[in-house]
Amino acid sequence: MATFGIKCNTCLTNRSKHLFINCWKHFSYNRLNTTAKEEEMPKDKSHLLQKLRDNRMKSAKKTAKNTLASNVFQLSVVGNGSKGNPRALYVWTDRNSYLFNCGEGTQRLANEHKLVITGHHMHFILKLSKLENIFITRRCIENMSGIVGLALTCQDIGVPNITLHGPQHIDRLLSLYHHFLTFSGMKIQTNSYIDYHFEDTDLAIRCLPIQASVAVEDNSKNTSKVSNEISFIYICKLKDRPGELLIKKCIELKVPPGPLLGKLKAGQDIVLSDNRVICSKDVMGPEDKGPIFIVLECPSLQYIDSLLSNESILQSLSNESSNLVSVVVHFTPSDVFTDERYQQWMKRLGDSVEHLIVNEDNPKQSYVGSNRLQIQLNLIDSFIFPLLDCLRNEDTPQAYQSNSVRNTNTLSKYHLRPSNVKGYDSENIVDIDVNAFKEEAFSNSEFMESLKKYHSLESQLQYTAQDYPEIIFLGTGSAVPSKVRNTSAIWLNIDSETSFLLDCGEGTFGQLSRFYGKECDSRLKQLKAIYVSHLHADHHLGILQLLKKRSLVTDEPLLLIIPPAVINWLQNYNECVEQISHMFEIIAIKKFLTESDDKVLKRLRLKELRTCLVPHCSHSYGVSLTTKSEPNFKVVYSGDTQPTPNLTRIGLNCDLLIHEASMEDQLVDEARLKFHSTTSEAIDVGKDMNAKFTILTHFSQRYAKIPVFNENFNDRVGIAFDNMRVRMSDLNKLPKMIPTLKCLFNEQIEELKARSAHTLRRKEVLSQYRDNKT
Ligand SMILES: [Zn+2]
């Protein structure tokens, strides 16, 4: 058992690595809102975190006494594995939670579906606070790239330990983060075995390995490296529960109410006052045999032989009595799933078994929050806010709908206990109702009025459409992804054949595939470079997935203009996990501080590319690029930073400044502590560098939908949304739509105002208190 996530002693002696640790600590601090100068902070959640941990310990102690298996047991699909969606199955009882696989974006979907209200009852659908065990079927990016993001969320809600179970060497992927990611107060452990058994109060899990029968060519075309990776089949048996006490029978036998009933229930025989002996088994209903569910991934056709010949799978089922198998969850890809031999194997499990599919054949409607917003913004401008892929219905994936084989979507559920509700449940499945979301906007009369005004203003705008550069905001939130704002990524179409990505937070590939749909592959092919502004996780965790997806459509290496820590991370991944070095070419970001690189300029069809150091964490950069086309355009991106003359210098007279505006003006102290900018500061940077236009982005998740507007907004300032597309000729439209946005987000704006007033009052009280003290 290896332990990761605690401070590395060797790093502390190594100055450069020590710096990375500090940076990552800063990242953790961002998320926890705890800093050294607590009394100046408008919000401090550290005591809350401690409280969460204490409550957790208390409830754990309470439930530890009860060794009876839980009577509520459910499987819920979090990510259904369709293109751009993560794959993850959440399994829970009223006491324990488990996760099977954790693809990129699991954290975001888990956050979105924390709470679902049905009728008058509230049900926690995904309760991560109880998550302690994550099971991985196979060591690959698709199953594991969401773990770090999810673990950070778990840390924020007070989870003390997470154990990762899976085939050999799954620890290697985690160890890559070891040098620059510290989890304060949470341990991540890994259990990696060839053959493995897990047991707790609710569940016993046996895992059986399958292997490729012949050496499998590595996915990438440039390498002959063979892989004989193991994939696990998890056979999960719920613990048996004793039968119910038959009260009617007890009354017939004249057992008096009171503690004797409890003894009978606990399996003890009793003697009544008239010397009659009552046997527990005579007054108890039949035992509730724990059903079995299976989770498996048969990654390619080469694994089928191993699956078929592995008699211990069927044996272990018959030992347990195979009629207990209720449901099998298949992480198996479509071509294997539909293979005759695989289908035969499924039949051997029995006709009564149900099968749930988690693969690319599933429907794509998962991110309800962002689709809802896009549907409503689309009413304002259908070019700037195009509908996302799942609403365009371009290609319908293969459907298996039958009583025993089912496609799944986010929140498809299967109840294993209690027995009276046992079976498949589609009641909470996410569903994007375009008309309902439109109606919601139509019913807002102020919005409709303002929309009319905007459309008449817009029709009067005189401009010639400039097709390129075109900018697509794929992630505009800071630190943690929310329903409507993913972590940082800006896609730049420099011309019709050349794209450049500025930052690449977790889930960027998913965002890209939802934005472009069918076109996604051709767009990936024309991506020439990724630039990473600094080493915080919300700016680069999505690179691996993007690299792998791109390598399926082109052999051309991708240029990576990245800071040193990210270089180390990729090189370690290449050495320890899988060969990816042929997919990219690294160019140190600092090179562009002083010189240029003709190859990069040529590849990106740029006239100039400059970077500058910015004050955020060590090795943080801002960038300015000028297109080659005539007329050429200069675009500047701040990355994360507080206002700095360095950026003003390289961005002078630009056509567009994209600047972070993490905080509202009132939180300027907090912005300074975390080396971020406020809204007005960002607008002022635009003025100082004489930018023709400024777009604000990277909003703290406290402004999940809309930032706080103030009097400094003018007709050269706009705000970014995820899935917003602008060309230089569209920029003038952005300020004109602000009144309409204010109507659309009226409720959130009122809420923000109330919160701001509260913060102000709190600050006044604090400063009075300090004055009195001096
Ligand atoms: Zn940052």
- CA–centroid distance, 536 to ligand 1, in Å, is 5
- CA–centroid distance, 563 to ligand 1, in Å, is 13
- CA–centroid distance, 372 to ligand 1, in Å, is 28
Compute the average pLDDT of residues 674-702: 94
Per residue in 710-754, pLDDT (tens digit) is 888 999 999 999 999 999 999 999 999 999 999 999 888 888 888
Name the residue with higher pLDDT: 681 or 288.
681
**Is 666 within 8 Å of 689 (Cβ atoms)?**
no
- How many Å apart are CA 546 and CA 530, to the nearest integer? 10
Ranges of each domain in the chain: 2-32+67-241+288-362+397-421, 247-283, 448-452+468-758
pLDDT at 20: 30
- CA–centroid distance, 170 to ligand 1, in Å, is 28
- CA–centroid distance, 27 to ligand 1, in Å, is 7
pLDDT at 191: 67
**Is 313 within 8 Å of 279 (Cβ atoms)?**
no
- The reply to whether 2-32+67-241+288-362+397-421 and 448-452+468-758 are identical in fold is yes
- How many Å apart are CA 79 and CA 226, to the nearest integer? 29
Angle at 481 between CA 479 and CA 487, to 5 degrees: 65
- CA–centroid distance, 374 to ligand 1, in Å, is 26
- CA–centroid distance, 181 to ligand 1, in Å, is 13
Alpha helices by DSSP H, listed for 349-489, are: 368-380, 389-392, 434-442, 445-460
Of the pLDDT bands very low, low, confident and very high (cuts 50, 70, 90), residue 104 is: very high
Q: Is the peptide bond before 564 cis (omega within 30 degrees of 0)?
A: no
The residue with tokens 């027995």 is 419
Domain covering 2-32+67-241+288-362+397-421 in this structure, CATH number: 3.60.15.10
Compute the average pLDDT of residues 20-33: 32
- CA–centroid distance, 481 to ligand 1, in Å, is 14
- How many Å apart are CA 628 and CA 331, to the nearest integer? 46
Tokens of residue 772, six digits = 């009195």
Per residue in 547-576, pLDDT (tens digit) is 999 999 999 999 999 998 888 888 888 887
- CA–centroid distance, 674 to ligand 1, in Å, is 9
pLDDT at 274 over 80: yes
- CA–centroid distance, 509 to ligand 1, in Å, is 20
- CA–centroid distance, 19 to ligand 1, in Å, is 14
Tokens of residue 357, six digits = 């599919």
Angle, helices 147-156 vs 15-32, to 10°: value is 60
pLDDT-wise least confident of 307-321, 396-410, 510-524: 307-321
pLDDT at 181: 63
- CA–centroid distance, 675 to ligand 1, in Å, is 8
- CA–centroid distance, 700 to ligand 1, in Å, is 11
- CA–centroid distance, 489 to ligand 1, in Å, is 13
- CA–centroid distance, 6 to ligand 1, in Å, is 21
- CA–centroid distance, 619 to ligand 1, in Å, is 11
The torsion angle over the Cα atoms of residues 176, 177, 178 and 184, rounded to 10 degrees, is -160
Angle at 753 between CA 749 and CA 755, to 5 degrees: 115
- How many Å apart are CA 389 and CA 519, to the nearest integer? 10
Of the pLDDT bands very low, low, confident and very high (cuts 50, 70, 90), residue 396 is: low
- CA–centroid distance, 149 to ligand 1, in Å, is 15
> What is the secondary structure of 42-62 as a DSSP string?
S---HHHHHHHHHHHHHHHHH
- CA–centroid distance, 478 to ligand 1, in Å, is 8
Of the pLDDT bands very low, low, confident and very high (cuts 50, 70, 90), residue 230 is: confident
722 by DSSP, 3-state: which?
Answer: coil
**Is 378 within 8 Å of 438 (Cβ atoms)?**
no
pLDDT at 24 over 60: no
Classify domain 448-452+468-758 at the CATH topology level: Metallo-beta-lactamase; Chain A (3.60.15)
- Start-to-end CA span in the chain (Å): 54
pLDDT at 614: 95
Q: Which amino acid is at 692?
A: K
Per residue in 207-228, pLDDT (tens digit) is 888 988 765 554 544 433 445 5
The residue with tokens 């195979």 is 322
- CA–centroid distance, 537 to ligand 1, in Å, is 8
Compute the average pLDDT of residues 369-381: 93
- CA–centroid distance, 562 to ligand 1, in Å, is 14
527 by DSSP, 3-state: which?
Answer: strand
- How many Å apart are CA 60 and CA 159, to the nearest integer? 12
**Is 76 within 8 Å of 366 (Cβ atoms)?**
no
> What is the secondary structure of 88-131 as a DSSP string?
EEEEEESS-EEEE---TTHHHHHHHTSEEEETTEEEES--GGGE
- CA–centroid distance, 514 to ligand 1, in Å, is 25
pLDDT at 57 over 70: no
Of the pLDDT bands very low, low, confident and very high (cuts 50, 70, 90), residue 87 is: very high
- How many Å apart are CA 622 and CA 278, to the nearest integer? 80
pLDDT at 268: 87
- CA–centroid distance, 616 to ligand 1, in Å, is 7
